[in-house]
Structure 1
């Protein structure tokens, strides 16, 4: 789960920092509308991102773990707080903080994993 959660957070952090999609491993097929982005990648993972005002709703399916997950993000200026839960009962909380071209990410989960990592638009994570 730690890798799947980190990938999810990494994707969100990069999305929030307006990083180019070309840095993600493997191509994904996406459909987009005004408020919704839905994608399926080459490994069979699926996710959607829906925005309503300053709230971002993420839903997805992790192929490797065979589980569904949901995450809600609330944005307050340069700071985004998030909470999530998966079908196996794991829950997580954390935040992303944007400082210039850098995003500082921190999370912890009920499964015992936690991390703090920094991403930059020029150098990646």
Structure 2
């Protein structure tokens, strides 16, 4: 089973979540995490994303950028990104530029299904 790590370009915690929600509402075009935008509405996961997660054969893990840096301090990827974890050998499989170019969740899920 393929193991993927999704890394959001946002920090964890309630205060950061609150700031992110405010940013999405006030200035959504300048929000810096298209992975968040693709997979979540303002307050919750999108239903298509929830369905994908429930039905995928991929082993998936999610990190906010501060959590990822704590767990993988030597890794340096531009965020957001999707990384394959093969016995602790990390390989970027969808980079930040690509994620930022997806205009909708279906495109992103189609790409994930091709991995």
Same fold (TM over 0.5): no
Q: TM-score, normalised on structure 2?
A: 0.33
Q: Higher strand proportion, which one?
A: 1
For normalisation by structure 1, the TM-score amounts to: 0.31
Structure with more contact order per residue of length (Cα contacts < 8 Å, sep ≥ 6) = 2
